[in-house]
Amino acid sequence: MINQYPLWKYVLILAVLLAGLLYALPNLYGEDPAVQVSTLRGAELDSALVDSMQLALREGGVSPKGVEPGQEQVLFRFRDSEEQLRAVELLRPVLGERLVMALNLAPATPDWLQRFNARPMYLGLDLRGGVHFLLEVDMDAALAQAVERYGTEVRTLLRENRVRYLGVQTSSDTVRIRFRDAEELGQARDLIEREFGQLVLEEVEGAELELRGTIGEQEALEIRRFALQQNITTLRNRVNELGVAEPVIQQQGDSRIVVQLPGVQDTVAAKNILGATATLEYRAVDFRGSVEDAVAGRVPVGSRLYQDRNGQPVLLRQQVIVTGDQIVNARSGLDQQGGGPMVSVTLDSRGAKRMLDFTQDNVGNPMAVVFIENRTVTREVDGERVTSTRKVEEVISVATIRGVFGRNFQTTGLDSPREAHELALLLRAGALAAPIDIVEERTVGPSMGKENIDQGFKSVIIGFALVLLYMAFYYKVFGLVANLALALNLVIIVAVLSMLQATLTLPGIAGIVLTVGMAVDANVLIFERIREELRNGNSPQAAIHAGYEKAFSTIADANITTLIAAVVLFSFGTGPIKGFAVTLSIGIITSMFTAIMGTRAVINLIYGGRRVTRLSV
Amino acid sequence: MEFFRKETAIDFMGQRRIAVALTLFVIIASLVLLLTRGLSFGVDFTGGTVIEVGYPQSVELGEVRGKLAEAGFDDAQVQHFGTARDVLIRLAPRGESSSAQLSEEVMTVLEAGDSKVELRRQEFVGPQVGKELTEQGGLAMLYTLIGILIYVALRFEYRFSVGAVAALVHDVIVILGVFSLFRIEFDLTVLAALLAVIGYSLNDTIVVFDRIRENFRKVRKGTAVEVVNLSINQTLSRTIITGLTTMLVLAALYLLGGEVIRSFALALLLGVVVGTYSSIYVASLVALAMGVSKQDLMAVKKEGAVDEGP
């Protein structure tokens, strides 16, 4: 019997339909206005703090719709934005310096849906408003810094080993050392090879004897990778402090970073924070003074009170041992003896001497690292913008000095490799951050975002409705079946986008609109073929069968070629183009399924397995 | 409802001389326009800053221009964007790489005139990024064409694949020509649209080719020209209906999708028209001119099977 589908095909279509509906559903629930309170730099959130926040809200007469405490943050949901804004005022005094607050629109997906991991689509900045930055790490500067450091190191090395040289010069990628005679050059070469294996050495014969060291390819690659990594880490820390909900900080290519801050409007403030300069200091811990007294306001003479990342007070001596610019390198790794995570630090000669002097007298005493950021803060005072610089200081590590050391030392006793990695990055960030430039910047105002989304959806719905009408009018019953498939197609596209959490942008919506237009094509091809078969005098059943059969290869060829275009678009495009390519590709694939298998199933149910004298096509 | 109750028998290929002349004229005109007048590239490609502001009521462009010129932005291009309340300001790339300062300054100037002005959108693209985009866009186009060339050559025959690619190149040139003629801004979304047009036009071409292949195998008599004519007629109703539905959706997008998406929709609308034309008069004609014939597309004979004469 022709035109009957086996049961499994119906089951498959039904399953896809149900899954599609399930995962598309969260988009219907909308979003709650919410306030998100999070700790800085991933510190843990105290449950007592959450209680006091709730108390403050209750006393102010605001009862949140929901409270969702997490590891590092807590989310308060409200019924409307008025309540949300009142809550902000109520929470502000409770928070203090250690917590940041962000206004947020939290998806109001019900629990039972969340259990299926179903979430609404992720809207791009053009639909929700916000700032987009593309930052480029100055890799030439990063390499130049490295060469500069090698220059300093080579000088020290040669001097310490009493090898006479005429001069050491550094240019963008080369260290040049001039010598009077070949013997000295040879000695120097041996020394440098042993100490700095990463340098590629080359002897240049000329008026003077010269040894040239360049950074090897492997090492250069490593320097670049690290410069990027380190900038991403510092940016992430800073963005966290901005209190932005759902920020995006991503590597793009091998020297660029994308930063997206949804909801942020004040680009100047955002840029000041992203562009803050950081440094750090090693200081002795004042372990004799009483921290309690200091907190109460009686700070011992020659000491200062600091806070660590969890807001705990730490009393440090005012005298600085080593500053960030004296750090040559910091790498995380595993401790040779203990096996635990550690960070190994290398100082330059000036820093090494000071560290040596200090540790000789202080074995067994604790030492701390203070991370300092200079930020430009723009505030509005009496309607005028006032720019001031704010210094943010924070203790990032306290460790006991186990022995006398100078140039190289290790910080152990860290909780996890991740912490070690983070500390190494912070140490480097405070020492030799490679400069970053903003190469692209886009701001979308909130009203604009709202407008875009409204217009976008409106055009999708109207375009969709027009096509539905047209199809029903032109192909009657078959047209209605095609309309069903079209609706299913839309549901599946939305579901897949939600599942992938792909970013939906305005061009993405255009992509959906376009696939709606093109998805019809498959059905038009099939239906026209059926009409043709009927005209040729075939029986209705045979016409249906042949129509689907013959149209298939055409549809497949046409869609595969379009898919080729979409895939190329995806691999080349950035941002908006990518969004378009994603929806287009998804649409092409899902439309093949719904327009061929979906319509066939319904047509078979209607006409299959019985005598039919005419088709409503 | 049916547009074509009976199979049409329009002699498409009979008009091929006129069509060739028309095609050549349009292509040459487009190329001349592109070479002399060029495209008005958007900030995505040239680098620079674009600021879109919204006023609560209609605003005179001259006023805005005057205010900006007073403040030293005499190179600013000012135009309405969609409505008389929205204004788009374009600034050429400046020496320093930052732009927040720039837009801040512009906003201060505008706020001095009307405090209710609102920043709706601000874009800054560094010159380097712009250059890379142009390069990547060109490469994307090239790779798409190569990918299609290979696929069509594998599925059909190389003469068809040359025809298909010629049609696509035709489409791109003509659309660019129209954009140049009307000085419509060419930005990233238009590039995306152009690539989508390639997809659509190809769709159309493949449908026609598919039918030509089928008819070459099925129809025993008739010249190649007749077979092509027959195939185009057989697929005509599909071509028109799909074109109409796609244009319906695109029209909705053009009219309701907002200003940002308008040039995107326009490029695609153009693409549907141009793409439909090119699948008949460029793709099929090129394949014919290269001498595609029945033998090229006959199903590969099974080994040992011998065609017996009548």
**Tokens 């002699």 belong to which residue?**
B11
The answer to whether A318 and A284 are in contact (CB under 8 A) is no
Report yes or no on B209 lying in a domain.
yes
ipTM: 0.84
Say yes or no: B73 and B161 in one domain: no
Chain A residues in contact with B195 by the CB 8 A cut-off are: 565, 568-569
Say yes or no: B177 and B272 in one domain: yes
- What pLDDT is recorded for position B176? 94
Report yes or no on B308 lying in a domain.
no
Kindly tell me if the per-residue pLDDT of A534 is higher than 60.
yes
**Tokens 């006393």 belong to which residue?**
A59
Q: Tell me which residue in B143, B148, B248 faces A561 most closely, judged by beta carbons.
A: B148
CA A580 to chain centroid: 20
pLDDT band at B306 (very low <50, low <70, confident <90, very high): very low
The shortest C-alpha distance from B288 to chain A (Å) reads 20
Return d(Cα B250, Cα B268) in angstroms, integer: 7
Report yes or no on B186 lying in a domain.
yes
Report yes or no on B310 lying in a domain.
no
Give the pLDDT mean for B134-154: 86
Do the chains contact at B252 and A462, CB–CB below 8 Å? yes
Say yes or no: B141 and B223 in one domain: yes
Give the pLDDT mean for A496-500: 92
In CATH, what number is assigned to the domain containing residue B213? 1.20.1640.10
- Give the DSSP letter of residue A96: -
Kindly tell me if the per-residue pLDDT of B100 is higher than 70.
no
Domain count across chain B:
2
Kindly tell me if the per-residue pLDDT of A20 is higher than 90.
yes
Do the chains contact at A441 and B152, CB–CB below 8 Å? no
Query: Any CB–CB contact under 8 A between B219 and chain A?
Result: no
**Over the stretch A197-217, which tens digit does the pLDDT of each residue have?**
888 888 887 777 888 888 888
Can you give the three-state secondary structure of A201-231, one letter per residue? EEEECCCCEEEEEEECHHHHHHHHHHHHHHH
The shortest C-alpha distance from A577 to chain B (Å) reads 6
**Over the stretch A291-345, which tens digit does the pLDDT of each residue have?**
888 888 888 877 888 888 777 888 888 778 887 777 877 788 887 777 788 888 8
The answer to whether B194 and B172 are in contact (CB under 8 A) is yes
- What pLDDT is recorded for position A383? 53
Q: Tell me which residue in B1, B203, B268 faces A558 most closely, judged by beta carbons.
A: B203
Return d(Cα A65, Cα A84) in angstroms, integer: 10
Which of B98, B125, B152 marks a domain boundary?
A: B125
Q: Which helix (H) or strand (E) holds B181?
A: helix B158-181
Do the chains contact at B122 and A441, CB–CB below 8 Å? yes
Which of B76, B98, B125 marks a domain boundary?
A: B125
Output the CA–CA distances (angstroms, integers) from residue B41 to B44, B133, B176, B271, in the order listed: 8, 12, 11, 19
The answer to whether A82 and A53 are in contact (CB under 8 A) is no
Domains of chain A (ranges plus CATH)? Answer: 7-26+445-607 (1.20.1640.10), 30-108 (3.30.70.260), 140-216 (3.30.1360), 276-443 (3.30.1360.200)
Kindly tell me if the per-residue pLDDT of B309 is higher than 60.
no
Say yes or no: B208 and B256 in one domain: yes
Say yes or no: B17 and B85 in one domain: no
Give the pLDDT mean for B197-217: 88
Number of Cα atoms under 13 Å in the Cβ half of residue A47: 0
Do the chains contact at A572 and B118, CB–CB below 8 Å? no
Say yes or no: B26 and B79 in one domain: no
Chain B residues in contact with A448 by the CB 8 A cut-off are: 52, 120-121
Q: What percent of chain A has pLDDT over 70?
A: 92
When mean pLDDT is compared across A231-240, A493-502, A602-611, the lowest value belongs to A231-240
Do the chains contact at B257 and A467, CB–CB below 8 Å? no
Do the chains contact at B261 and A531, CB–CB below 8 Å? no
Q: Tell me which residue in B128, B196, B235 faces A584 most closely, judged by beta carbons.
A: B196
Give the residue from A480, A456, A457 showing the smallest Cα distance to A470: A480
CA A592 to chain centroid: 34
- What pLDDT is recorded for position A575? 65
The answer to whether B272 and B244 are in contact (CB under 8 A) is no
- What pLDDT is recorded for position A486? 92
The shortest C-alpha distance from A491 to chain B (Å) reads 18
Do the chains contact at B123 and A441, CB–CB below 8 Å? yes
Do the chains contact at B144 and A568, CB–CB below 8 Å? yes
The shortest C-alpha distance from A527 to chain B (Å) reads 9
The shortest C-alpha distance from A16 to chain B (Å) reads 26
Q: Identify the residue with better confidence: B95 or B111.
A: B111
Return d(Cα A187, Cα A196) in angstroms, integer: 14
Cβ atoms within 10 A of the Cβ of B9, count? 9
Number of Cα atoms under 13 Å in the Cβ half of residue A454: 6
Q: Tell me which residue in A440, A561, A576 faces B129 most closely, judged by beta carbons.
A: A440
Report yes or no on B154 lying in a domain.
yes
Q: Which phi-psi region, left, alpha or beta, contains residue A393 (left: φ > 0; alpha: ψ -120 to 50)?
A: beta
Say yes or no: B206 and B102 in one domain: no
**Over the stretch A419-459, which tens digit does the pLDDT of each residue have?**
787 777 777 766 656 777 778 888 887 777 788 888 888 88
Return d(Cα B174, Cα B180) in angstroms, integer: 10
Query: Any CB–CB contact under 8 A between A169 and chain B?
Result: no
Q: Tell me which residue in A510, A520, A553 faces B245 most closely, judged by beta carbons.
A: A520
What mean pLDDT is reported for chain A?
83
Ranked by mean pLDDT, which of A174-178, A246-250, A524-528, B128-132 comes out on top? A524-528
Q: Tell me which residue in B100, B137, B264 faces A507 most closely, judged by beta carbons.
A: B264
Report yes or no on B197 lying in a domain.
yes
Strands (E) in A475-580, as ranges, are 503-504
Chain B residues in contact with A584 by the CB 8 A cut-off are: 196, 199
Give the pLDDT mean for A112-119: 87
**Tokens 């793409």 belong to which residue?**
B275
Q: What percent of chain B has pLDDT over 90?
A: 25
Give the pLDDT mean for B80-107: 75
Kindly tell me if the per-residue pLDDT of B218 is higher than 70.
yes
Pairing assessment for the beta strands B83-91 and A174-179 based on DSSP bridges: unpaired
The answer to whether A449 and A127 are in contact (CB under 8 A) is yes
Say yes or no: B146 and B293 in one domain: yes
- What pLDDT is recorded for position B2? 67
Pairing assessment for the beta strands A31-39 and A99-107 based on DSSP bridges: antiparallel
pLDDT band at B5 (very low <50, low <70, confident <90, very high): low
What mean pLDDT is reported for chain B?
84
Q: Count residue pairs from A and B with Cβ separation < 8 A.
A: 228
**Over the stretch A203-255, which tens digit does the pLDDT of each residue have?**
887 777 888 888 888 888 888 888 888 788 778 777 776 667 778 888 888 88
Pairing assessment for the beta strands A122-123 and A503-504 based on DSSP bridges: parallel
Give the pLDDT mean for A66-95: 83
Return d(Cα B108, Cα B130) in angstroms, integer: 27
Q: What percent of chain A has pLDDT over 90?
A: 16
b/e code B261-289 from CB counts within 10 Å (16+ = b): bbbbbbbbbbbbebbbbbbbbbbbbbbbe
- Show the CA angle centred on residue A437, arms to residues A435 and A441, nearest 5°: 150
The torsion defined by the Cα of A566, A568, A571 and A576, in degrees rounded to 10, comes to -50
Return d(Cα B218, Cα B42) in angstroms, integer: 51
Say yes or no: B64 and B79 in one domain: yes
Say yes or no: B291 and B195 in one domain: yes
Concatenated DSSP letters of B199-246: HHHHHHHHHHHHHHHHHHHH--SS-HHHHHHHHHHHHHHHHHHHHHHH
Do the chains contact at A463 and B252, CB–CB below 8 Å? yes
- Give the DSSP letter of residue A302: T
Query: Any CB–CB contact under 8 A between A457 and chain B?
Result: no
- What pLDDT is recorded for position B301? 46
Query: Any CB–CB contact under 8 A between A580 and chain B?
Result: yes
Kindly tell me if the per-residue pLDDT of A98 is higher than 70.
no
Kindly tell me if the per-residue pLDDT of A145 is higher than 70.
yes
- Give the DSSP letter of residue A564: H
Expressed as residue numbers, the domain containing B121 is 48-125
pLDDT band at B113 (very low <50, low <70, confident <90, very high): confident
**Tokens 């040559």 belong to which residue?**
A328
Query: Any CB–CB contact under 8 A between A384 and chain B?
Result: no
Query: Any CB–CB contact under 8 A between A513 and chain B?
Result: yes
Interaxial angle between packed helices B61-70 and B100-113, expressed in degrees from 0 to 180 and rounded to the nearest 10: 120
The shortest C-alpha distance from A144 to chain B (Å) reads 21
Ranked by mean pLDDT, which of A202-211, A362-371, A478-487 comes out on top? A478-487
- What pLDDT is recorded for position A138? 84
Query: Any CB–CB contact under 8 A between A514 and chain B?
Result: yes
| Residues 270-289 (A) with a CB less than 8 A from some CB of B | 271
Report yes or no on B2 lying in a domain.
no
Give the pLDDT mean for B220-231: 87
The shortest C-alpha distance from A572 to chain B (Å) reads 6
When mean pLDDT is compared across A500-504, A582-586, B24-28, B32-36, the lowest value belongs to A500-504
**Over the stretch A146-174, which tens digit does the pLDDT of each residue have?**
887 788 778 878 888 888 888 888 887 88
Chain B residues in contact with A455 by the CB 8 A cut-off are: 256-258, 261
**Tokens 């998804």 belong to which residue?**
A586
Kindly tell me if the per-residue pLDDT of B299 is higher than 60.
no
In CATH, what number is assigned to the domain containing residue B57? 3.30.70.3400
Say yes or no: B110 and B220 in one domain: no
Do the chains contact at A455 and B258, CB–CB below 8 Å? yes
- What pLDDT is recorded for position A576? 67
Chain A residues in contact with B6 by the CB 8 A cut-off are: 535
Interaxial angle between packed helices B127-155 and A540-572, expressed in degrees from 0 to 180 and rounded to the nearest 10: 150
Kindly tell me if the per-residue pLDDT of B130 is higher than 70.
yes
Kindly tell me if the per-residue pLDDT of A283 is higher than 70.
yes
Give the pLDDT mean for B267-286: 92
Mutate to test the interface with A, among B46, B203, B208 (most CBs of A within 10 A): B203
Reduce the DSSP state of residue A495 to 3 states and report it: helix
Give the residue from B240, B242, B289, B230 showing the smallest Cα distance to B12: B230
- What pLDDT is recorded for position A603? 92
Query: Any CB–CB contact under 8 A between B233 and chain A?
Result: no
- Give the DSSP letter of residue A596: I
Give the pLDDT mean for B300-308: 45
Q: Which phi-psi region, left, alpha or beta, contains residue A118 (left: φ > 0; alpha: ψ -120 to 50)?
A: beta
Chain B residues in contact with A441 by the CB 8 A cut-off are: 99-100, 122-124
Chain B residues in contact with A267 by the CB 8 A cut-off are: 100, 103-104, 122
| Residues 47-76 (B) with a CB less than 8 A from some CB of A | 52, 54
Output the CA–CA distances (angstroms, integers) from residue A486 to A404, A547, A599, A605, A617, in the order listed: 75, 19, 9, 18, 17
Query: Any CB–CB contact under 8 A between B119 and chain A?
Result: yes
Which of B125, B153, B168 marks a domain boundary?
A: B125
Do the chains contact at B202 and A528, CB–CB below 8 Å? no
CA nearest to B136 within chain A: A572
When mean pLDDT is compared across A280-284, A445-449, B155-159, the lowest value belongs to A445-449
Say yes or no: B220 and B108 in one domain: no
Q: Tell me which residue in B100, B143, B148 faces A271 most closely, judged by beta carbons.
A: B100
| Residues 74-133 (A) with a CB less than 8 A from some CB of B | 126
The shortest C-alpha distance from B205 to chain A (Å) reads 8
Do the chains contact at B268 and A514, CB–CB below 8 Å? yes
Query: Any CB–CB contact under 8 A between B138 and chain A?
Result: no
- What pLDDT is recorded for position A16? 94
Q: Identify the residue with better confidence: A194 or A433.
A: A194
Report yes or no on B207 lying in a domain.
yes
- What pLDDT is recorded for position B261? 82
CA nearest to A512 within chain B: B249
**Over the stretch A551-605, which tens digit does the pLDDT of each residue have?**
998 899 888 888 888 888 788 776 667 788 888 899 999 999 999 999 999 999 9
Q: Identify the residue with better confidence: A382 or A68.
A: A68
Name the phi and psi angles at B38, rounded to 5.
Answer: 75, -175
